[in-house]
Structure 1
Amino acid sequence: MNVPPVVPAPEWEAARQRLLVKEKAQTRAHDALAAERRRMPWMAVEKDYRFEGPDGPVRLLDLFEGRRQLIVYRFFFEPGVHGWPERACVGCSMMADQVGHLAHLNARGTTYARVSRAPQPDIRRLKREMGWDSPWYTLTDDFDADFGVDQWHGTNAFVRDGERVFRTYFVNHRGDEALGSTWSYLDLTAFGRQEEWEDSPEGYPRTRAYEWWRRHDEYDTGTDPWEGRLDEKVAATKAHARTSAGGAS
């Protein structure tokens, strides 16, 4: 192999500092992209999508588990996938292994779930064998085709306002492969990490960085960081739309 040169510590540190300048620029670009993502328009979900859950039929709204945001990963585990029925897609399985503890997402009012066409008994067995505990539902309609994940894996982000659900973002292909940490998922959502340093629209929920962090078994699961805030945001958005349309109701 044509490996890099071996150098003394001062020269090594100088090289690291030069690269650090570029790494910080990349971090700032990532933050700016996430800020732009938080300003993406929302798309209303008009169909009443249905799934089969561990306890029976559920709606897309139920996948939120009462929280304000939902991240849905399309996991290929079903007839036609290599290894079926004993095993799931290799890539999807690798991604499942790198998902962090969901308590941290939940603390930001965000639920993570997987969907596949495998029946629930097969999903339960695979979860047990692989040591996965994320919520996982069976597709029963056109949800996968309608949201761009019928032929390939992908991650969709949603937000709800009462009974209404909106699609806020979608990523697939190489955009999926780096996901797994709490931060990578929150950066895809409509409200982001919800920390004060972020560039977010006026009125978005934000708390001080670090102060909301807990060990995964120490969160107050009843805390809703959006308490009364999302309704105000949706109302303002609707008012702006009416004004832009010349005051039409």
Structure 2
Amino acid sequence: MRMPEAVTPAEWNKAHEELMAKEKELTRAQDRLAAERRRQPGVRIDAEHGFTGEGGRFSLVDLFEGRRQLIVYHFMFAPGSKRPCSGCSMFVDNLGDPAHLNARDTTLAVVSRAPYPEIAAVREQRGWTVPWYSSFGDGFNEEMGVTVDDNDSFGLSVFIRDDTSVYRTYFTRGRGVEKLGTNWSLLDLTPLGRQETWEDSPEGVPQESPYAWWRLRDEYGD
């Protein structure tokens, strides 16, 4: 197995500082991209989509759980699938407690085409608690572009609502999903962002001091 080149502490520090400079520039570039993302237009979802989840039937607005923003992971799990997608499963395995997203007026949910009993069995088997809904018999996947000619792919969509009017503001797939999973990376995809004063956001986006909203997950309250 290849091992790193052995160098002196001074040589290591020099190489490390050069790498850190590149990483900081990447972080700044990502911040600029997030600022542009917060200014992206949205497409209104006019179709009356219906979903089945734990507790019954739900509309797209219901998936927001009363919050203003919704992040949906499109999980590759078609009707009759023998096993869940390994890559999608890895993504869900890495999701943290939703309390931190909820504190930023954001809900996270998973949607697949399989009937809900098939979804519920996998959800229980894997020990997942994230809300996972079935769009079986509905055209939601097709409208989102993740099902074409009955073939599924995975991806992640971001929505914002104004009362009952829902707009899709962002979508990513493939390697665009790989770097996601932390609350910060998911919030950076939304129109409202982290809602901290250092962010370059459009006028009207709520903001407060950095870290002011951070809590232990059981300290947010209702």
Whether these two folds match at TM > 0.5 is: yes
Alignment of 1:56 with 2:53, yes or no, is no
AA aligned opposite 1:61:
V
> Separation in 2 of the partners of 1:56 and 1:206?
36
Offset at 1:40? 0.3
| Structure 2 counterpart of 1:126, from 91, 115, 122 | 122
Alignment of 1:142 with 2:132, yes or no, is no
> Separation in 2 of the partners of 1:78 and 1:144?
11
Alignment of 1:97 with 2:98, yes or no, is no
Alignment of 1:203 with 2:204, yes or no, is yes
Q: TM-score, normalised by structure 2?
A: 0.94
Q: TM-score, normalised by structure 1?
A: 0.84
Q: Which residue of 1 aligns with 2:185?
A: 184
Alignment of 1:12 with 2:8, yes or no, is no
Q: Which residue of 2 aligns with 1:246?
A: none
Offset at 1:110? 0.2
> Separation in 2 of the partners of 1:26 and 1:53?
39
Q: Structure 1: 5+ residue runs without aligned partners?
A: 222-249
Identity rate, percent: 53
> Separation in 2 of the partners of 1:2 and 1:120?
47
Q: Is contact 1:148–1:154 with CA below 8 Å preserved after alignment?
A: no
Offset at 1:121? 2.3
Q: Which residue of 2 aligns with 1:170?
A: 171
Offset at 1:124? 2.1
| Structure 1 counterpart of 2:102, from 106, 117, 123 | 106
AA aligned opposite 2:14:
A
> What do the CA deviations read for 1:148-180 (whole angstroms, capped 9, x no partner)?
111310101000001111111111111011111
Q: Is contact 1:105–1:186 with CA below 8 Å preserved after alignment?
A: yes
| The structure with more radius of gyration | 1
Offset at 1:4? 3.5
Offset at 1:10? 1.6
> What do the CA deviations read for 1:99-132 (whole angstroms, capped 9, x no partner)?
1211100000000000112222222222222111
Q: Which residue of 2 aligns with 1:240?
A: none
Offset at 1:17? 0.4
Q: Structure 2: 5+ residue runs without aligned partners?
A: none
Cα 1:2–1:123, aligned 2, differ >3 Å: closer, same or farther?
closer
> Separation in 2 of the partners of 1:131 and 1:199?
38
AA aligned opposite 2:107:
T
AA aligned opposite 1:212:
W
Q: Is contact 1:44–1:167 with CA below 8 Å preserved after alignment?
A: yes
- Runs of 4+ aligned structure 1 residues displaced above 4 Å come to none
> What do the CA deviations read for 1:226-248 (whole angstroms, capped 9, x no partner)?
xxxxxxxxxxxxxxxxxxxxxxx
> Separation in 1 of the partners of 2:145 and 2:178?
17
Q: Is contact 2:69–2:106 with CA below 8 Å preserved after alignment?
A: yes
> Separation in 1 of the partners of 2:52 and 2:4?
54
> Separation in 2 of the partners of 1:111 and 1:215?
18
AA aligned opposite 1:145:
E
Q: Give 3-state SS (helix, strand or coil) of 1:137's partner.
A: strand
AA aligned opposite 2:142:
A
Q: Is contact 1:73–1:156 with CA below 8 Å preserved after alignment?
A: yes
Offset at 1:145? 0.8
> Separation in 2 of the partners of 1:5 and 1:141?
56
